[in-house]
Amino acid sequence: MTGKQIPAPEFPQSLEWFNTDKPVNLEACLGKVVLLNFSTYCSLQCINRLQDLEFLKNKYHDNVRIIGIHIPRFPGERTTIHLQKAIARHNIEHPIINDMNQRVTKLFGIRQPHALVVIDTKGNIKGATSRLDKRHKLDKITGQLLCKTDRHVAVPDTPDPSRECGIAANALAYPGRIHVTNKRVFIADSGNNRIIETTTGGHVLHQFGSSDAGFIDGHGTDAAFSNPQGMLLLDEYLYVADSGNHAIRRIHLQSDEVITIAGTGKPGNPPQSSHFSNPREVNLNAPCGLALKGNNIYIAMSGTNQIWALSLLTNIMEVIAGSGDKDLVDGISHLASFAQPSALSIMGNTLYVADAESSAIRAVDLDTRNVRTLVGGGLRNYGYNDGFATDAKLQYPLDLDADQRKKLLWVADTYNNKIRKIELGNNLVSSVTVDYPLHQPAGLAFSEDTLYIANTNLHEIVRIDLRNGNSDTLNVDDEYAGI
């Protein structure tokens, strides 16, 4: 934070506002501390900051005014419907500006997509930070600014997180990743903070997690998750990347017991060491994707832009690839860089990675740990184009699954609202014809000529019969939950 103070400029006219009946005027906020949160909701770091803002709002209540300024990074983020869905998915209650033309961003001189500007009670800019681990300092500064005005800091009521209209209480809400066997479908029902196990007909057999976000080990619905994502099944155990809790959880499907096997519940920075002997004491950061080979679980550590591994034999965790810098750089192990790796799948001895923010598909040789790029050309090289991998373009892919039989990758090309396939023999990228509307699909799984798609923003699971192209939805029936 800087000590220099200048008057905060008023917001321009004709902005697109959300979560408020009328535009917010900064002059009307005099006497309050105002926090301007510049962010993009494709960034996990920006999503993590929402927890800090909620903490400050709950502590200082009406004495703090939080205003979000959404800076679209991808074309798919510019639309009104995208931002409405993001607000609902993350239960955001404060007013938000869709700064699609960066009018506010330029007015405040913001150069980082995750900056936070503090405005004091007299309307002056107190300072700004682009760091994402500043809860303690923001709390201290907010308290000091309010004490100078001798204002009474109110005790907040229990917040009532808003829910998007049209989502039934027991229905799916923003489903993320899917894991499918020939008899069972496991769904990361991320908006409901739970994992559900269904038959292939959609009848719910078990629910893990209470639907309320939390970090609690226990049995069945006594346990709690927060934005669970990637899963893998090994014998009687389902492993879950509990992204919002920065942890890896394990579900014993016979006893319904949920335990934490890695992570403390707190996010960490890219580590100085590459080996950890006690995974329960390591601060992970937004693990999103999981894959298994032999006795190793591979983890897409989205928050630190790295690939980690956890040995089920030795219980040793290690960083196998990624410098920690957000970039698209090929090379050996720590010389390579990723940009929010979000999903993993293995074919042979190659680990394939959906690298979301670089709009790329990467490949890691598990013997040499050499990282190479199949599709994608950099952080600003995104779009929609079929063809050979060197010319093809994606836009924020969040999931992929390796088809061992056909030697290809199925890809959830999330912001293009498409399913793509990459033929590994000739490196040809093509779009899959789907006779059903997709809205930001964030997960998929392939099983026995059927492609299961998490149609995330429409809160449903779509199935495509790849033999004839026919599609239908998996009608999830919560009536049997818990039985």
Instruction: Categorize the per-residue pLDDT at 131 as very low, low, confident or very high, splitting at 50, 70 and 90.
Output: low
CATH for 75:
3.40.30.10
Residues 122 and 247 in one domain: no
pLDDT digits (tens, 9 = 90+) for 161-213: 333 434 444 589 999 999 999 899 999 999 999 999 999 999 999 999 998 99
Residue-wise pLDDT for 310-352, tens only, equals 999 999 999 999 999 999 999 999 999 999 999 999 999 999 9
Asked whether residue 183 falls in the same domain as residue 252, the answer is: yes
- The DSSP letter of residue 16 is E
| The last residue of a domain, from among 147, 167, 195 | 147
Residues 104 and 187 in one domain: no
**pTM of the prediction?**
0.87
Answer yes or no: is pLDDT of 2 > 80. no
pLDDT at 167: 45
Question: Out of 20-24, 146-150, 393-397, which region has the weakest mean confidence (pLDDT)?
Answer: 146-150
- Report which of 204, 208, 232, 231 is spatially closest to residue 219, judged by C-alpha positions: 208
User: Do 142 and 188 fall into the same domain?
Assistant: no
Helix (H) or strand (E) run with residue 140 in it: helix 135-147
Residue 149 and residue 368: Cα distance in Å, rounded? 61
Q: Does any domain span residue 158? A: no
Q: What DSSP assignment string belongs to 356-392? A: GGGTEEEEEETTT-EEEEEE--STT----B-EETTT-
Pair 304, 270: CB distance under 8 Å: yes
Closest-CA residue to 31 (of 126, 119, 157):
119
- Pairwise CA distance, residues 174 & 78, whole Å: 19
Question: Mind listing the pLDDT tens digit for each residue in 222-231?
Answer: 999 999 999 9
Instruction: Give pLDDT, residue 122.
Output: 93
pLDDT one-digit tens code per residue, 304-314: 999 999 999 99
Q: Is the pLDDT of residue 361 over 70?
A: yes
Amino acid, res. 257: E
The pLDDT of residue 149 is 54
Distance CA 446, CA 254 (A): 25
Q: What angle do CA 59, 62, 68 make, to 5 degrees?
A: 90
Does residue 351 form part of some domain? yes
End-to-end CA distance of the chain: give it in Å, rounded: 54
What is the CA angle 213-278-320, rounded to 5?
A: 90
Report residue 479's pLDDT band, with 50, 70 and 90 as the boundaries: low
pLDDT, tens digit, 9 for 90 and up, residues 66-114: 999 999 989 999 899 999 999 999 999 999 999 999 999 999 988 777 8
Residue at 168 is within a domain: no
Q: Percent of the chain, pLDDT > 90? A: 77
The verdict on 223 and 369 lying in the same domain is yes
For residue 348, give the 3-state DSSP assignment: coil
Residues 293 and 395 in one domain: yes
Residue 165 lies in a domain: no
Domain that holds residue 26: 6-147
Residue 266 belongs to a domain: yes
- Integer Cα distance of 378 and 359 in angstroms: 8
**Number of domains composing the chain:** 2
Claim to verify: residue 185 and residue 138 sit in the same structural domain: no
Domain boundary among 128, 147, 166: 147
Read off the pLDDT of each residue in 257-261 and give the average, rounded to a whole number: 98
Closest among 323, 342, 324 to 333, alpha carbons compared? 323
**128 shares its domain with 183:** no
Q: Based on the domain organization, do 99 and 225 belong to the same domain?
A: no
Residue 403 phi/psi, 5-degree rounding, is -95, 100
DSSP state, residue 14: S
- Look at residues 97, 127, 147 and tell me which one is the last residue of a structural domain: 147
**400 near 411, Cβ under 8 Å?**
yes
Check whether residue 343 and residue 269 sit in a common domain: yes
How far CA 204 is from CA of 227, 292, 452, 474, in Å, comes to 19, 26, 16, 11
Distance CA 78, CA 62 (A): 30
Q: How many Å is the Cα radius of gyration of the chain?
A: 22
Q: List Cβ neighbours of 120 (8 Å cut-off, separation of 6 or more).
A: 5, 33, 126, 145
Assess if residue 170 is contained within a domain: no
Q: Do 142 and 85 share a domain, yes or no?
A: yes
Q: What is the sign, positive or negative, of the torsion defined by CA atoms of 243, 246, 248, 250? A: negative
pLDDT band at 151 (very low <50, low <70, confident <90, very high): very low
Mean of pLDDT values over 28-34: 94
Whether residue 85 is found in the same domain as residue 129: yes
Q: How many CB atoms lie within 10 A of CB 124?
A: 13
Whether residue 164 is contained in a domain is answered as no
Residue range 235-250: average pLDDT? 97
In a domain, 155, yes or no: no
Tokens of 199: 């038959």
For position 5, what pLDDT does the model report? 64
CATH code of the domain covering residue 329: 2.120.10.30
The whole-number pLDDT of residue 137 equals: 82
Helix 44-60 and helix 135-147, axial crossing angle in degrees, nearest 10: 30
What is the pLDDT, as a whole number, of residue 197? 96
Mapped onto helix, strand or coil, the DSSP state of residue 56 is helix
